[in-house]
């Protein structure tokens, strides 16, 4: 144990030896490393500050606290603390044994910008580490503590995303001490973690901190990934505390006096109130990334669509799961059938700002396409899941389309495997039954060993084959920018769209994910709708202009 010491500029770290559940292989973990000062007191709601040096040897053999949060599902327990800005590094070889610096993968966890952490209980690197990469995971501030935006110097917004940027800077400056290559970093995330990755591609402060990206089931254009009215949400939060009014500064001073646990609890109360006011929206995420008023040092100075200018030529993997809509269906399930029978357009209005004159016509066509003459109800749940899946992918397809004719066209995949380690399907199994297909973020269970979710996984047969397939693809991409030989998986272009079907076997498919359904959805909606979370959408790289989605889709504006 005493030999597992790595020295970085902040001080010495004592790591621990781990053993992979996959094959018994030894690897080394350095857990709970502080990358920022605790964001407490006057630092609450502000951008993070780099951690200070320490004396002696820091014990990096165990995970520290997650960031303050409360479970969405019963028993809705509190966990974590404000002193939570820690990261972990997993390596296969000790630094003094490394001859050629290793490729680095930096992972951003999901959780709707409200929950989650980077702990080994959920994201153990046993499966990925076998491919001799370095894996970095980190915590970042959640919900109001990470995303309150009052447009003030003491509360400019997006603190949680700025935490992520600082963690990535830490990697850039320190990963050589672990045998890593700071010039070969791949950023990788699932769900809201994927949206975070896409934000970093767009955000000026994150430029140059990574070379490749893997975006799984989310983007900066996802409807739930942006708060359009952050000050209104802040006021609503204050109201749950009994705040009677005053200036933005008064509100900030008031919220600073509340405990982290009180803030977390009142955010949950606010979510419940929003669900009662807008049941069609399911779980409303009130505190998510938002555009910043103070432009100097801003993480998000403009709407995501406006930042979708010609991007850096990054190699990117984009992907979704076969049944993405299961998560949305789960969120809505208790009320969705009555809502749809009363007003079917409600499912479209949740995600798109559709021209009101065309809304009845559009809703009727969508209903006919997905349900035909079948009655809307629990017996047609699969049809509704398909609709939600298509809405979800529609919001991801735009960033794919934007880079599809760039110098580095994207790799696109669909994860379709249903086995013993499907992560979210297992998590929701007591609430909703899905016999076939993979739902939102299910591939997570084949990328990470999760002792909390699957304490004794059966690592054999098809499950093992999927683990080996997907971890090899992801780590090959991290090392070289190519996940495989092109005969197995080649990039998608506008002239030849294609995607990899990831299952027990790997099959390269021609066309787009959700093929005919995506075509129907785009042809119907693009002339009459714009995404819920922004006013702009992209045409193509070739034209170099932005297309406003109005009644006339061909009207172009600079």
Cα gap 309→545, rounded to integer Å: 9
3-state helix, strand, coil in the chain (%, to 5): 35, 20, 45
Q: List, in sequence order, every beta strand (DSSP E) within 63-197.
A: 69-70, 78-79, 86-91, 102-108, 134-138, 180-190
Per DSSP, 412 falls in state: E
Bridge partners of residue 69, in order along the sequence: 79
Residues near 264 by Cβ (< 8 Å), separated by ≥ 6? 68, 69, 70, 78, 143, 144, 145
Peptide bond before residue 75 is cis, with ω within 30 degrees of 0 = yes
| Residue pair 136/89 in contact by the 8 Å Cβ criterion | yes
Cα gap 370→366, rounded to integer Å: 6
Cα gap 507→484, rounded to integer Å: 12
Q: Give whole-number Cα distances, 117 to 81, 90, 262, in Å.
A: 12, 16, 20
Phi, psi of 512 (to 5 degrees): -100, 155
Torsion of CA 179, 184, 190, 194, to 10 degrees: 140
What residues act catalytically? Answer: 191, 324
């Amino acid at each position: 144990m005493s030999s597992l010491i790595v020295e970085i500029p902040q001080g010495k770290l004592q790591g621990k030896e781990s053993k992979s559940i996959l094959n018994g292989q030894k690897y080394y973990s350095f857990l709970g490393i502080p990358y920022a000062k605790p964001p407490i007191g006057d630092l609450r709601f502000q951008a993070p500050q780099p951690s200070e040096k320490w004396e002696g040897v820091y014990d990096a053999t165990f995970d520290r606290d997650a960031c303050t949060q409360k479970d969405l599902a019963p028993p809705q327990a509190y966990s974590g603390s404000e002193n939570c800005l820690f990261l972990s590094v997993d390596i296969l070889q000790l630094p003094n044994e490394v001859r050629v610096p290793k490729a680095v993968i930096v992972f951003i966890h999901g959780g709707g910008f409200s929950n989650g952490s980077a702990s080994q209980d959920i994201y153990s690197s046993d499966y990925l580490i076998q491919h001799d990469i370095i894996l970095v995971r980190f915590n970042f501030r959640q919900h109001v503590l990470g995303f309150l935006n009052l447009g003030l110097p003491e509360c400019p917004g997006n603190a949680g995303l700025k935490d992520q940027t600082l963690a990535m800077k830490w990697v850039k400056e320190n990963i050589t001490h672990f045998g890593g290559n700071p010039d070969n970093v791949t950023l990788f995330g699932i769900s809201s973690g994927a949206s975070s990755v896409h934000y970093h591609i767009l955000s000026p402060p994150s430029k140059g901190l990574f070379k490749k990206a893997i975006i799984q089931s989310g983007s900066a254009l996802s409807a739930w990934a942006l708060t359009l009215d952050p000050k209104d949400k802040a006021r609503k939060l204050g109201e749950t505390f009994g705040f009677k009014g005053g200036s933005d500064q008064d509100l900030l001073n008031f919220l600073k006096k509340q405990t982290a646990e009180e803030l977390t609890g009142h955010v949950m109360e606010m979510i419940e109130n929003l669900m009662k006011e807008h049941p069609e929206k399911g779980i409303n995420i009130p505190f998510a990334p938002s555009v910043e008023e103070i432009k100097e040092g801003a993480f998000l100075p403009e709407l995501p669509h406006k930042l979708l200018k010609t991007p850096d030529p990054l190699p990117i993997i984009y992907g979704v799961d076969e049944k993405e809509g299961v998560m949305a269906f789960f969120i809505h399930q208790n009320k969705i059938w009555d809502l749809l029978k009363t007003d079917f357009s409600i499912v479209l209005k949740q995600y798109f700002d559709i021209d009101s004159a065309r809304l009845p016509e559009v809703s009727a066509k969508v209903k006919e396409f997905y349900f035909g003459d079948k009655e809307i109800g629990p017996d047609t749940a699969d049809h509704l899941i398909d609709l939600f899946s298509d809405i979800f992918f529609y919001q991801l397809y735009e960033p794919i389309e934007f880079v599809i004719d760039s110098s580095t066209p994207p790799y696109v995949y669909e994860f379709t495997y249903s086995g013993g380690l499907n992560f979210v399907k297992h998590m929701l199994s007591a609430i909703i039954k899905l016999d076939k297909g993979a739902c939102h973020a299910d591939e997570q269970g084949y990328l990470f060993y999760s002792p909390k979710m699957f304490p004794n996984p059966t690592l054999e047969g098809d499950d093992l084959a999927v683990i080996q397939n997907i971890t090899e693809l992801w780590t090959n991409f991290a090392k070289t920018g190519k996940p495989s030989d092109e005969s197995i998986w080649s990039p998608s272009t506008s002239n030849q769209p294609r995607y990899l079907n990831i299952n027990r076997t790997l099959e390269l498919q021609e066309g787009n994910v959700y093929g005919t359904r995506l075509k129907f959805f785009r042809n119907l909606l693009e002339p009459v709708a714009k995404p819920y979370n922004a006013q702009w959408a992209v045409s193509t790289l070739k034209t170099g202009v932005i297309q406003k989605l109005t009644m006339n889709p061909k009207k172009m504006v600079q």
